Structure 1
Amino acid sequence: MKATLVMNFRMSNGKNTTVSITNPKDELTKAEVAAAAAEMVEKDALIVNENHLEALDKAFIRTVEETLLQ
């Protein structure tokens, strides 16, 4: 299975943007994600069309199973 950490942020223009990180570490906690997101907001790590991150809206791990067709 492939895993992706999906972090949905609220932006300064009221819209949302998504940050996806492939292969997050096993046993990743909500607290670890919240701390990383807070640091991204604090340090203005991402600016989209001149809009800044304001807050983490939600975060989740998406898992996908691939099955090769034969």
Structure 2
Amino acid sequence: RQGLARALTEGPIDFLNRIEHDRPQDYVEATKVIAAYVAARYAPTDNLGGAQRRFIQLARRFRAV
């Protein structure tokens, strides 16, 4: 979404905390997207494809709202 760019030095949890503060109306949906990102980023290689697909799906839906 516009106005929700992650800073280069900001990790996903810090980014989520900033969303909670700056855009509380987006927090619930952002939590799902960031949880999917963390799962995809740190998933075991045997489940990497599914985790990546889930993240991409949620991120696209979030961006479209």
TM-score w.r.t. length of structure 2: 0.32
Higher strand share: 1
Work out which of the two has the higher radius of gyration on C-alpha atoms and give 1 or 2.
Answer: 1
TM-score w.r.t. length of structure 1: 0.30
Higher helix share: 2
